[in-house]
Amino acid sequence: MSNVANVPDIILEPMVRNAIMEDLGAAGDVTTRSVLPEGTRYKAQMRARQDAVVSGMQVASLAFRLIDPNLVVETVVADGTACKAGDTLMRIEGSAASILAAERVALNFAGRLSGTATLTASYVQELAGTKTRITCTR
């Protein structure tokens, strides 16, 4: 289990809302509405593309919940935890249109934040055995 503390959702929510609004625009997800029958349901998984340190699951989950609070979102691998390529990080179930509307924002945050966490972990590993510490400067 990770020792990473979650930031309260209320602090993250404006950033995630802005990203969703930028992605969907005023018209919403017109592609999904034009190709998927209304009421279609999906079971989706977010998987790691490579070995990494996971980060962004809280933000990704928030993106899905902001689009549709009825989606069932299960985080399988917690932020701050190492994973292997192919590992399932999150499961999402519910309206296909809702999942597709949120997935790009969720994946962008998870990918960017996991990349930063993975790179930082490599720096920490490189400095192991020295007196140097990697610290957060906000």
> pLDDT tens digits, residue range 93-116?
999 999 999 999 999 999 999 999
pLDDT at 5 over 80: no
| Residue 52 within any structural domain of the chain | yes
Q: Is 21 part of a structural domain of the chain?
A: yes
Mean pLDDT value across the chain: 93
Please report, for the domain that includes residue 44, its CATH number. Answer: 3.90.1170.20
**Rounded alpha-carbon distances, angstroms, from residue 80 to 21, 28, 52, 85:** 28, 33, 10, 16
Q: Is residue 138 part of a domain?
A: no
Q: Could you tell me if residue 113 is inside a domain?
A: yes
Looking at the structure of the chain, the number of domains it has is: 1
What is the domain range of residue 118? 9-127
pLDDT by residue (tens digit) across 7-24? 999 999 999 999 999 999
Asked whether residue 57 carries a pLDDT value surpassing 80, the answer given is yes
Helix axes 9-24, 96-126, angle to 10 degrees: 120
